[in-house]
């Protein structure tokens, strides 16, 4: 039981490049989330998926797209990376009936030059 | 708009003593949830405790308790009998509605436990 896994762990991009961050959970959770954490700040919600087949914008969605591929997987795509997207990205999941408890992945550290 | 404020950038506590980490919030929604998460230096986020706005009693989870004062809009985390392993960043967070999905986080408080 791996919980929430994220790949890659670390990535360097040049401005304008694209990439997809992968997230998978094996806890059979309905809901999944993508956050970013900038230095000295708490997490900010980018997008979330309440259940398979649905996605919604969070606090800071601009510059990102998401795909809920199936119940297990929720990916985050940067179409044209910008230096302002340098951050640590966390994926999380929660059960439908206990949304207060989010289980987080280990994070992806992204540097955009 | 919802807002979470953590005014203590850093806190020191002696091992085995209790410590309170402050959190105030602002929302116009009568229904909300309040959380605390721990982030050790390794980077992962660990859920600690949850309080619903309609819960009558303060939440407790082992050595963690949440001092919920609704009228003052505060949700302070109390850690009893601090341990060296409690050294970490602590984030207060709030979710809209009892069944909502959007969660906002405070800027965090870094706790240092001294031996």
* Nearest one of B115, B59, B58 to B82, comparing CA atoms: B115
Query: Cβ A107–B104 below 8 Å, yes or no?
Result: no
Query: Cβ A59–B47 below 8 Å, yes or no?
Result: no
CA pair distance B1, A65, nearest whole angstrom? 25
Mutate to test the interface with A, among B4, B95, B101 (most CBs of A within 10 A): B101
Residues A72-100 pLDDT 10s? 999 999 999 999 999 999 999 998 777 77
CA pair distance B54, A54, nearest whole angstrom? 29
Please give the C-alpha separations between residue B42 and each of A8, A21, B46, in angstroms, as whole numbers.
16, 20, 11
CB contacts < 8 A, A to B, total 57
Q: Are A59 and B3 in contact (CB under 8 A)?
A: no
Residues B33-82 pLDDT 10s? 999 999 999 989 999 999 999 998 999 999 999 999 999 999 999 999 99
* Nearest one of B5, B104, B93 to B50, comparing CA atoms: B93
Chain B: nearest CA to A39, how far in angstroms? 9
Largest CA distance in chain A: 41
Can you tell me whether residue A8 is helix, strand or coil?
coil
Residues A30-75 pLDDT 10s? 999 999 999 878 899 999 999 999 999 999 999 999 999 899 999 9
A50 → closest Cβ in B50, B101, B103: B101
Q: Which residue has the higher pLDDT, A41 or A4?
A: A4
Mutate to test the interface with B, among A10, A50, A99 (most CBs of B within 10 A): A99
Within 8 A of B106 by CB-CB distance, chain A residues are 42
Question: At CA A98, angle to CA A93 and CA A100, rounded to 5?
Answer: 75
Within 8 A of B61 by CB-CB distance, chain A residues are none
Say if B99 is an interface residue toward chain A (CB within 8 Å).
Answer: yes
């Amino acid at each position: 039981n791996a919980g929430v896994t994220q790949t890659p762990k670390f990535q360097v991009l040049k401005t304008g490049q694209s990439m997809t961050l992968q997230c998978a959970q094996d806890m059979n959770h309905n809901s999944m989330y993508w956050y970013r954490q900038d230095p000295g700040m708490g997490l900010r919600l980018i997008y979330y998926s309440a259940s398979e087949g649905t996605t919604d914008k969070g606090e800071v969605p601009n510059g990102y797209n998401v795909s809920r591929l199936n119940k297990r997987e929720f990916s985050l795509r940067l179409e044209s990376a910008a230096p302002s997207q340098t951050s640590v990205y966390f994926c999380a999941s929660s059960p439908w009936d206990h949304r207060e408890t989010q289980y987080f992945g280990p994070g992806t550290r992204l540097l955009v030059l | 708009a919802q807002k979470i404020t953590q005014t203590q950038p850093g806190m020191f506590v002696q091992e085995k003593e209790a410590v309170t980490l402050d959190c105030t919030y602002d929302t116009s929604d009568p229904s909300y949830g309040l959380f605390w998460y721990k982030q050790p230096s390794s980077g992962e986020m660990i859920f600690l405790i949850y309080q619903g706005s309609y819960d009558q009693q303060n939440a407790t989870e082992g050595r963690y308790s949440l001092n919920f004062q609704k009228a003052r809009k505060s949700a302070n985390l109390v850690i009893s009998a601090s341990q060296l392993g409690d050294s970490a960043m602590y984030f207060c967070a709030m979710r809209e509605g009892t069944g909502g999905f959007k969660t906002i986080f405070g800027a965090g408080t870094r706790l240092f436990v001294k031996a």
